[in-house]
Chains A and B, each alone.
Chain A
Amino acid sequence: MDDMLRIDTYPTHIFNEYGLRPGHPYPFGANPVPGGINFSVFSRHADYCVLVLFKKDAPKPFAEIPFRGMFTKPGTGEPFWGDFRIGNVFSMVVFDLNIEEIEYGFRMGAGYPKVERGKPGFQRFDPRSILLDPYARAIGGRDIWGQAPDWNNIYQHRARIAYDDFDWESDRPLEIPAENLMIYEMHVRGFTRHPSAGVKHAGTFAGLKDKIPYLKELGVNSVELMPIYEFDELEGVHNHPETGEMLVNYWGYSTVGFFAPKAGYAATGKSKDGTMVVDELKTLVKELHANGIEVMLDVVFNHTAEGNEYGPTISFRGIDNITYYLLTPEGYYFNFSGTGNTLNCNNPVVRGMVLDCLRYWAAEYHIDGFRFDLAAVLGRDQNGAPMLNPPLLEALANDPVLAKCKLIAEAWDAGGLYQVGSFPAFGRWGEWNGKFRDTLRRWIKGDSGIISDLALRLQGSPDLYASRGPTASVNFITCHDGFTMLDLVSYDNKHNEANGENNNDGANDNNSWNCGCEGETDDQGIQDLRFRQIKNAFALLTVSQGVPMMLMGDEMGNSQSGNNNMYCHDSELSWLDWSLLQKNQQLFRFFKNCISFRKAHPVFHNMWHLRGQDYLGTGLPDISWHGVKAWNPDWSESSRLLAFMLDGKHAKGGQSQDNSIYVVTNTYWEGLDVELPGLPSVRGQNWYVFANTGVNTPEDVCEPGAELLLGKQDHLFVGPRSVVILVAK
């Protein structure tokens, strides 16, 4: 086979000094081929397209090569007409380009009237604009986080070509069953940017890699990375009107390029070779996998960084505006995302791009799953109306490459579509369960009237996911969007003044309680109560059926000073302060042991909903409910105590054998004496205490397996606002 010679490695066309030949329409993007690079880009409405080539970072292009026009024949120099287009795809091979040195873009034009900035319009072609390839695998222009670019440069976000030959050795996606996941939601930069992180390359993929031992010790087995597709942290950059602080696009929910990792998150971003960011991220993924940790990406397909009628032309709007965006009948951008525009996800071409993109990340980066931001948008038709069977969601659910990837929806959008429990799942999709968050928050702070709802949430929300099972429910109490766990128990109200929007931004319905004083306090009693409430919350999260997700830093008591919308802060307010780990060691220990306890007990990992019945004849139902009196739960409006017992013999429908577990949660402001359910005598078992948030550390939690024998086996005192977890053995 070594002797087999491809016959398409020589130019058939010459333009100036560049050797060319007709390209391959698929795959889209810029792909190395023998001797050259194949450039391929779609536009349905462009009349013409020009490839624009730059040296890396250069202000002006060194070549512009049309996809259609007069070329010459190699050797003879004879002129002839050529057109490198098939269907609506412009594609050509350019020979002898240095991958590491060049950046490329496109100019496109058509015979539509020019649309002025701020005016409505269906097509926004402007041949003066140099357009980023939607399929660019690496993107320059913001190589070093926060570094101001030359704003006069005509090409701000610059497509690069990346190698896709990473040496993965034997690595592949881990395919951890969803019911066994413990997800850690995190911000790549915020995780290690603080000086206390103690890593060499702070705020980068390489920095995160250095912290893998920490994640492993905590026990999480999935990291969900907030957006890492290329975005522009300087988009909408402005100064706080009073403090003067520079406010940036810190979170990154505004995609510039769907196929490229965020260069500013890579320590190698500053390298002369701008393609190494790809290898750096792949190295991180490989190392996480080697440590048993999956990687999930938070992906934003509902909108792009191009904004509304006033936004910049970066890529899509100059390539084919009406294809890529949802437009009103007048030609304005629909704004179901709350950020200016809405990607036209159920246009077949856009749908294809989303599929290509996710396949690329799954195949080339070994990504284990995706969480879709404002995913309800993905189910809207081309007029913006919700569909019953959205083809994009169906295609994703059935895609062969994505078949083992976790697909998780944030099942709502900014246009008022709320689909928690009703997201078109096609048997595959899970959801961020916002109802779990709201119910658990209300319960923990002591609200009345929600005990029945609580019981549903603890079981994996069978009311919402009857046909899908508990693993459709991603349970969380905190996430990036809102208060941290410490702030949830320290503030009644949001304090977003630092965002410079007069505290008008961010959610108002936080279901939070400050435990007696708004914000920081020296009152030891309040401090103790706050920590107890945090432990209550996390304990209930980890004993709930479904897929638990926690927020980075909650395990060490991270605070954002009451700010519940940190999207614009790149400062100590948003960076994780690692000195908290030492200061709040008791929280870390509690979290770590709870995670370990959950992992050790299959009874928490059911794939099907519990029935409340003894369908295996073990003498106990799979789940039973209790109150102050055993077998007698109080479901009344004012009830603030609920207990449940999970029968270990029913673990995973009887497929696993486990200890039985008893959990009691008391949100009364006073302690209560609770009668315990006696285990069937044939089991000859006793109750042992794994956790009791009502007592001081270190007695609040044990190492799993080292639980303490309960003194009185038939009664238990449960302290005020406390959770107790017992294990039978």
Chain B
Amino acid sequence: MAFNSVLEIVNGVAKITLSGELDAAAAPAFRTDVEKAAAAKVKAVALLMKDLEYMASAGLRALVFAKQKMGAQTEIYMIGLQESVMETIEMTGFQNSVTFLDSYDAAKVEGA
């Protein structure tokens, strides 16, 4: 399934809905959305990942890029991950950059 990334900024939170397969070919599109979110100086980034089926190295790196680009004060939430994607993130050590949530928690994310 082709990768798709949709960005919307609501209440100071960048919501990026991801679907499909985030691999090296798709990573630049994701990074573009991250850059836009960074430019908007949002207080948090919520990655809605329920429909993201696969994440490759380049996708993982885009996460670290996001964290580094926005600084430690900007929380990054990964929401509704599929188990295989979650496992990949944990096995490759990228979980330290983000907070996992089962579903979008407005109080938590928007109150950040």
Q: A282 — nearest CB in chain B belongs to which residue?
A: B93
Binary interface encoding of chain A residues 416-457 relative to chain B, with 1 for a CB under 8 A from any of its CBs, else 0: 000000000000000000000000000000000000000000
- Contact between A283 and B91 (Cβ–Cβ < 8 Å)? yes
- The answer to whether the Cβ of B7 comes within 8 Å of any Cβ in the partner chain is no
- The answer to whether the Cβ of A637 comes within 8 Å of any Cβ in the partner chain is no
For residue B90, which residues in chain A have a CB less than 8 angstroms away from its CB?
A: 206
- The answer to whether the Cβ of A235 comes within 8 Å of any Cβ in the partner chain is no
For residue A99, which residues in chain B have a CB less than 8 angstroms away from its CB?
A: 24, 57-58
Binary interface encoding of chain A residues 451-484 relative to chain B, with 1 for a CB under 8 A from any of its CBs, else 0: 0000000000000000000000000000000000
- The answer to whether the Cβ of A707 comes within 8 Å of any Cβ in the partner chain is no
Residue count of chain B within 8 Å CB distance of chain A = 19
Chain B contact residues: helix, strand, loop or mixed: helix
Q: A163 — nearest CB in chain B belongs to which residue?
A: B57
Assembly CA distance A49 to B60 (angstroms): 35
The one of A101, A165, A283 in contact with B92, judged by C-beta atoms closer than 8 angstroms, is: A283
Q: B21 — nearest CB in chain A belongs to which residue?
A: A272
Interface size class of A (residues with CB under 8 A): 20 to 34
Assembly CA distance A703 to B60 (angstroms): 45
- Contact between A100 and B91 (Cβ–Cβ < 8 Å)? no
- Contact between B23 and A279 (Cβ–Cβ < 8 Å)? no
Binary interface encoding of chain A residues 283-305 relative to chain B, with 1 for a CB under 8 A from any of its CBs, else 0: 10011000000000000000000
- The answer to whether the Cβ of A579 comes within 8 Å of any Cβ in the partner chain is no
- The answer to whether the Cβ of B40 comes within 8 Å of any Cβ in the partner chain is no
- The answer to whether the Cβ of B64 comes within 8 Å of any Cβ in the partner chain is yes
The one of A101, A201, A287 in contact with B24, judged by C-beta atoms closer than 8 angstroms, is: A101
- Contact between B97 and A201 (Cβ–Cβ < 8 Å)? no
Q: A99 — nearest CB in chain B belongs to which residue?
A: B24
- Contact between B54 and A272 (Cβ–Cβ < 8 Å)? yes
Given contacts A169-B96, A201-B91, A286-B93, contact A279 B25 (CB under 8 A): no
Given contacts A99-B24, A167-B64, A272-B54, contact A206 B91 (CB under 8 A): yes
- The answer to whether the Cβ of A273 comes within 8 Å of any Cβ in the partner chain is yes
For residue B25, which residues in chain A have a CB less than 8 angstroms away from its CB?
A: 98, 101
A-B contact count (CB 8 A): 64
Q: A277 — nearest CB in chain B belongs to which residue?
A: B92
- The answer to whether the Cβ of B61 comes within 8 Å of any Cβ in the partner chain is yes
- Contact between B93 and A276 (Cβ–Cβ < 8 Å)? no
- Contact between A279 and B60 (Cβ–Cβ < 8 Å)? yes
- The answer to whether the Cβ of B4 comes within 8 Å of any Cβ in the partner chain is no
Q: B25 — nearest CB in chain A belongs to which residue?
A: A98
Given contacts A100-B57, A100-B58, contact A279 B92 (CB under 8 A): yes
Q: B63 — nearest CB in chain A belongs to which residue?
A: A167
Given contacts A100-B23, A201-B91, A276-B92, contact A165 B56 (CB under 8 A): no
Assembly CA distance A411 to B60 (angstroms): 43
Binary interface encoding of chain A residues 171-214 relative to chain B, with 1 for a CB under 8 A from any of its CBs, else 0: 00000000000000000000000000000110001100000000
Chain B min CB distance to A187 (Å): 20
Chain A min CB distance to B17 (Å): 22
Assembly CA distance A396 to B98 (angstroms): 40
A-B pairs, 7 with minimum CB distance? A283-B93, A273-B56, A279-B92, A100-B24, A206-B91, A280-B91, A167-B64
Seed contacts A167-B97, A279-B60; 10 additional CB < 8 Å A-B pairs: A98-B24, A98-B25, A100-B23, A167-B94, A205-B91, A268-B88, A271-B88, A276-B60, A280-B92, A280-B93
> Can you give 27 A-B contacts (C-beta < 8 A)?
A98-B24, A99-B24, A99-B58, A100-B56, A101-B23, A163-B57, A163-B61, A167-B93, A167-B94, A167-B96, A169-B96, A201-B91, A205-B91, A206-B90, A268-B88, A271-B56, A272-B23, A272-B54, A273-B24, A273-B57, A276-B56, A276-B57, A276-B60, A276-B91, A279-B91, A280-B93, A283-B92
